[in-house]
Amino acid sequence: LIFFAVNFLVFCPRVDRGPVRDLYWCTLLYGIAIMVGGVCFPRTPAWYESILPLVWITCLTFLPVFFFRMALTFPRRRNFLEKRPGVMRALWITAAILVVWQTVAMLRYFADPRPALWQGFAFPRFLAQVFLVSMVGLGCMALYRSGRKLELSREREQAKWLLWGFTIGVTPYVFLRTLPRLAGLESPLPPELDRLFELAIPLAFTFAVVRYRFLDIDIIIRRSLIYGILAGVLASIYLLFGVLAGQMLMVRYPRYAGAIQIFAVAIPVILYTPTRRWIGMWVDRIFFKIQYNYAQALVAFQEAVRVASSQEEIADLTQRFIKGELRLQHAAVLARRGEALEAAGDLDTSAEDVLAAEAALTTSGSPAHPRRLLASPNSTSRPDLEALEFPEVFADAGVRLALPLAADGKNRGMILVGEKTSERRFIEEDLKLLYAVRAEAAAALERVELVQIATAETLERERAQEMERMKSDFFSRVAHDLRTPLTSIRWTVQNLLDGVGGRPDPEHVPHLQAVDAAANQLGRLVNNLLELSRLEHPGARSDLGPVDLVPLVQEAVGTLRSATAERGVQFELSVAPGLRSVCGNRDQLSEVVANLLENAARYSPNGAAVEVTLDRGGDGQMLIVRDHGPGLSQHECERIFERFEQGRPSPYSRQRGFGLGLYVARSYLTLMRGSISAGNHPEGGARFVCLLPEWQGS
């Protein structure tokens, strides 16, 4: 009966699983064989005496094959089955032949029940008993050897329970009764002792299956209590309303007898769900008090820690929670904030001890997969979790358990748990609570860290934006303040060159021209500064029209020629025939060309030429400016168009810009639906290419 209970309640719902399927057939066949008891002579005329012996023969012949297979698959499948698949097929065939042979001999005896025919059954039965003893012995040996090679503690314990159960359970029948009989000896034990020892097998199955989590016995107990009490309560409600009160009401109001009966049945149905919920809570409080109290406390902890705003607050909440719920003598929680560790708790540890503890906990597992728990010897009800070499820094501080606060593969701190006030071990429910608290605290620490990083980045970005705004405002004010005296200088120099007040001396003309060129260069810088704030406005636009690039470039070259004459830098203009006007803004294009030519002249060696080319390209026209300077690095080719981004200092000129010319040039070209790119010429020097669309008419 115990075998059948384990069979149908435990294994039958899981019969599709590999090793459990073998356990299922072992329990089924061995249970049937035990209940049949054996083959007796002489047989009685009862009808079942013709069926049960055949069932017993079949079960007891196939049972050792299932047991041998189970020894190779439970709790983990061995490679032997894949390497030698023919072994199991040979065993199945042998068992089938023995069953058929014994069945034929038995049926002959049933047809003519004479002692001579009964003796004809002896030889196949002898072979079946040899097969039984051999396979059970091999199965026990395989289970023993494979159990020693298992690495997981849970699997080793399961194998030990089964090995113990089978060894104790089958020893009287197989090795102390059947084996001596094969040798022609009498069994030293009475048959009744077989049944007593066979009880060890279902007990071993129960421990191996229920204790080691194939089946959660707590769930079965809880549901049995809930639905048992629920059935009693609902039956009492029905008796109260349907029998006692109902009978009185039907006597007084016979016309409503049917409605009263329906009402009496409806009340228990309506009360089913709330009653079940209430009974479930009551059962949890009474029979599962620890789990219930921990679950309720954990909900409150989750609500508190999820609104915590700092590592210190999370560490303090976690430390007070685990110390109060687990009733600890002392506890500590360390939360990492950047490179520092924030500590909360009452452990007497120094900063050096804290760092040593973190190092010990980190080395107990890989950073990506940290150890789930580090426990001192004899501290828990799970010896497989305890470390024989518990870190000395933990033991000296009175720590019994240590858990890393790890999230996303990153160690964010640790939980250090001291002795219980009761000095008892930490049970399974305590460990589950610690795991749940660790998960919540680690998630909260990760959230707080991300919020702090995001806040710091936001503040840094706002600070940078404010600095950019102040810089732009400063340059705009400076440009406005420079514009008036600069205009006066340019106007005065131009008047002197034009002979207003008298023609200047010939030796003074080059100096006046140099002043005029420098004033023009400074004027372009002032214009760039003034354009800076306008270009950054979201509504910036450009009034477009037809622009002829050839005279525009010639004008820019003529303006810069006097400024570059001292260093002997020349401008060479190459124009493709048949060029049309481009679509753009003349004033802005003048700034673009002037900035490009001035930049190329600054980086050109003395006496070198700046090559300017106008040609067709793509769907428009190209303006190409090439110098013979040191060229650009790959990094500079992208960043040189950023605002205030300056290239390397020119080895040929001491002039330094503000990093605005190329930024303004790109901004202007973007407004004109054009583009600009920078690179290096194959023969050396930097090369800037501007692409502008051709004018298509209004």
How much is the pLDDT for 48? Answer: 57
**By the 8 A CB rule, do 126 and 49 touch?**
no
Residue 233 clears pLDDT 60, i.e. is over it: yes
How much is the pLDDT for 348? Answer: 63
The pair of structure tokens assigned to 201 is: 């097998």
* Most confident by average pLDDT, 138-152, 252-266, 637-651: 637-651
How much is the pLDDT for 146? Answer: 74
Residue 505 clears pLDDT 80, i.e. is over it: no
* Most confident by average pLDDT, 249-263, 434-448, 512-526, 642-656: 434-448
Supply φ then ψ for residue 137, to 5 degrees. Answer: -65, -45
* Residue that has been written with the tokens 């600890």 in this structure: 328
Residue 472 or residue 82, greater confidence: 82
The whole-angstrom separation of Cα 174 and Cα 130 is 10
Per residue in 295-335, pLDDT tens?
Answer: 888 889 989 988 888 888 888 998 899 988 888 988 888 88
How much is the pLDDT for 343? Answer: 75
How much is the pLDDT for 358? Answer: 62
How much is the pLDDT for 625? Answer: 93
Question: Among the listed ranges 32-41, 135-144, 248-257, which one has the minimum average pLDDT value?
Answer: 32-41
Per residue in 215-226, pLDDT tens?
Answer: 343 554 456 566
Residue 359 clears pLDDT 70, i.e. is over it: no
Query: By three-state DSSP, how is residue 402 classified?
Result: strand
The DSSP secondary-structure symbol of 384 reads: G
How much is the pLDDT for 47? Answer: 53
Alpha helices, DSSP H only, in 37-121? 52-73, 80-83, 85-111, 115-120
Pairing verdict, β 609-617 and 570-575: parallel
Alpha helices, DSSP H only, in 539-583? 549-564
How much is the pLDDT for 16? Answer: 64
Question: Among the listed ranges 205-214, 250-259, 304-313, 561-570, which one has the minimum average pLDDT value?
Answer: 205-214
Give the chain's mean pLDDT: 77
pLDDT (mean) for 38-66: 71
Per residue in 627-638, pLDDT tens?
Answer: 988 888 888 887
Question: DSSP of 289-333, one letter per residue?
Answer: HHHHHHHHHHHHHHHHHTT--SHHHHHHHHHHHHHHHHTBS-EEE
Share of the chain above pLDDT 90, in %: 8
Question: Among the listed ranges 232-246, 262-276, 319-333, which one has the minimum average pLDDT value?
Answer: 232-246
Residue 615 or residue 50, greater confidence: 615
Residue 680 clears pLDDT 60, i.e. is over it: yes
How much is the pLDDT for 414? Answer: 84
Number of neighbours of residue 224 by Cβ within 10 angstroms: 11
Residue 155 or residue 314, greater confidence: 314
Looking at the DSSP bridge assignments, the partners of residue 694 are 582
Per residue in 396-436, pLDDT tens?
Answer: 778 888 888 877 667 778 888 888 888 777 877 888 888 88
Residue 688 clears pLDDT 90, i.e. is over it: yes
Query: By three-state DSSP, how is residue 658 classified?
Result: coil
Q: How long, in residues, is the chain? A: 698
Residue 442 clears pLDDT 70, i.e. is over it: yes
Judge if the upstream peptide bond of residue 42 is cis by omega within 30 degrees of 0.
yes
The pair of structure tokens assigned to 267 is: 């009340």
* Most confident by average pLDDT, 170-179, 189-198, 238-247, 285-294: 170-179
How much is the pLDDT for 90? Answer: 93
Residue 614 clears pLDDT 80, i.e. is over it: yes
Residue 443 or residue 515, greater confidence: 443
**By the 8 A CB rule, do 387 and 399 touch?**
no
Per residue in 122-134, pLDDT tens?
Answer: 888 889 889 988 9
Per-residue pLDDT band for 214 (boundaries 50, 70, 90) equals very low
Per-residue pLDDT band for 147 (boundaries 50, 70, 90) equals low
Residue 697 clears pLDDT 90, i.e. is over it: no
Angle at CA 44, nearest 5°, toward 41 and 46?
140
Per residue in 51-60, pLDDT tens?
Answer: 778 888 888 8
Question: Among the listed ranges 360-374, 419-433, 451-465, which one has the minimum average pLDDT value?
Answer: 360-374
The whole-angstrom separation of Cα 567 and Cα 590 is 23
Residue 360 clears pLDDT 90, i.e. is over it: no
Long-range contacts of 355-358, Cβ-Cβ distance < 8 Å, separation of 24 or more: 356/393, 357/391, 357/393, 357/394, 357/397, 357/399, 357/402, 357/414, 357/416, 358/334, 358/411, 358/414
pLDDT (mean) for 183-200: 71
* Residue that has been written with the tokens 């298992």 in this structure: 150
How much is the pLDDT for 93? Answer: 93
The pair of structure tokens assigned to 190 is: 């009475």
How much is the pLDDT for 291? Answer: 75
How much is the pLDDT for 465? Answer: 81
How much is the pLDDT for 382? Answer: 72
